[in-house]
Structure formats: structure tokens, C-alpha cells
Amino acid sequence: MEVNEMKDFRVWFVEEKKLTVKMRTATETRSSAISPTMVAVLELGIVVHSIVIGLSVGATNNTCTIKGLIAALCFHQMFEGMGLGGCILQAEYGWVKKAVMAFFFAVTTPFGVALGMALSKTYKENSPDSLITVGLLNASSAGLLIYMALVDLLAADFMGQKMQRSIKLQMKSYAAVLLGAGGMSVLAKWT
């Protein structure tokens, strides 16, 4: 091989590697980032759900019910906040949008509690209108959150290359999902 041919080969090889690295980096960036629309829909579902839960806490006069709701609310909001915060970070928003989304998450439950307290004189928990309204709001937000969790969040994690290569990681992940769902079911039954 002549010197010129060797030099040409090296230039070609380096350029090919740069192109491969650029393509791989673009693919990894695209797959690791979460769609901003998906995060906005998730935030909407959580906000509606938080207002309904806050309304229930604020309008309830029974202390036994309030104790259970507060315990469930603490765990629930903590895990929702961790999940939503991770999604907001992965969506690569600007700091203003991140602050606005965090603000709405933090304010909606207290707003729901204040609304429930204000309406506690006129709001009748067991009236047909109240049950239908709360049922529709709960059903829509629950459906939205289940869809987001299964289709957009868990599916993306479970279909990743790292997960697909390791059966041990898959088994641990499935066990964690089942334990989490079981824990939430126990918490729902307890309250």
C-alpha cells in the first residue's frame, strides 16, 4: 500500500467513524428524550386527579376518612412528583416551563382542598350529581394516567436495548412493576 492510499484510507476511516458517532448520538438522544406533548398530557391527568383528591379531602367532615386520605395522598403525591419530575427533566424544557409545570403540580392539591373546604356546606358527597361528577373526573384522569403509564412510560423503558439484552433485568423490572401496583392496590383498599 502506498503512502497516499494509506492516508486516503485513514481519512475515510476517520470520517466514517465521525458519521457513525453522530448518527448514534442522534438516535440515542431521540430515544432517551420524552415527547413534550406526552409530558403535558401526563401533567394534565395528574392535575385533574390532584384537584379531585383535594376536593374530596376538603369536603369530607369524617376524621376517619380524612386520616386515610391524607396518608394515601402523601404517598401518592410523592410518587407522582418523582415520576412527573423525571419526565419533565427528560423532555428537555426550558427552566421557565419546568418551573411552571412544577408550580401547577405543587398548587393543584392544596387548591382542591381549599375548594372542597369552601364548598363543604353546599357540596354533598353522596348526592347523585356529586357522585357522577367525581366519577367522571376520576375515570377520565385514571384512564389518562393508566394509558400514559403503560403505553408511553413503561413501554419505552421495557423496549429499550438495555432491557432487551438482559432477562435478569426484565424479571426484576416486572417484579418491581407488580410490587408497585400491588402496593398501590393495598393502599387504595386501606383507604
Q: Could you state, in chain order, the average pLDDT of each consecutive group of 10 residues for the chain (191 residues)?
A: 52 48 40 75 85 82 77 81 87 89 91 88 81 82 80 80 90 92 81 61
Query: Environment class of residue 74 by beta-carbon count within 10 Å: exposed (0-12), middle (13-18) or buried (19+)?
Result: exposed
Inter-residue contact 59 to 120 (CB < 8 Å):
yes
The cell for 118 is 369552601
Instruction: Identify the CA nearest to 145 among candidates 101, 80, 100.
Output: 80
Q: What is the pLDDT of residue 55?
A: 82
Distance CA 153, CA 86 (A): 11
Domain boundary assignment for the chain = 34-159
Cβ atoms 60, 119 nearer than 8 A: no
What is the amino acid identity at position 46? I
- How confident is the model at residue 28, as a pLDDT? 43
- Separation CA 60–CA 70 (nearest Å): 12
CA distance 1 to 8: 11
